[in-house]
Structure 1
Amino acid sequence: MVSRIAQFMPHPLERETTLRDLQAENMLAVLPLLSLAGLLLVVNEDRFSQPMQVILPGLTLFLVPLVVVALRPRSYRAAAWALVAGSLGGILLAAGWTPLPQV
């Protein structure tokens, strides 16, 4: 019985390779959304009182995918951290720069 189960379990190296492939594919799926969000912020800068409120976060979100694509062939881990740091940085810039409404 145990030998039947063992033949269906993938080898640890095969499992790790499959996981790495899935991670790399999913990383690429997010990049167009970040570029679109950055582009929408930059295009709509005239709706804000201070254009830099949206231009800097928008450019950050727009450029993160380019950095990730450049880093991905060299190091998956560096590309993943660039994606996380760039996304978080752009969001925090947008949230921190926008004034809160007075209550």
Structure 2
Amino acid sequence: MALQARLTITGRVQGVGYRDWVMTMARRLGLSGWVRNRTDGAVEALIVGDDNAVGEMIDACRRGPTMARVDNVDIEPVDLDVLPQGFTQLPTA
């Protein structure tokens, strides 16, 4: 069974390439899900994959890309009935 988590990343994470970086990392790790900016300045991501890959992604999100400053990564387990295919970028919500 795939591990599923919703991440909310706060700090200086918009306007610094964070979403593109998440997409690159997620695809490299073989994860599925999505990433989007939020209107409150955070970045939100849903990640689905094997335990090791999800763990690596969470660790990577805590560091972020060079131009970002990550203050916090909130992790919420989720249990979706229908799992996403591939990894996409969603519109701001």
Task: Bin the TM-score by the shorter chain.
Answer: 0.3 to 0.5
Structure index of larger Rg: 1
More helix by share: 1
For CA contacts below 8 A with separation 6 or more, give which structure has more relative contact order.
2
TM-score, normalised to structure 1, is 0.30
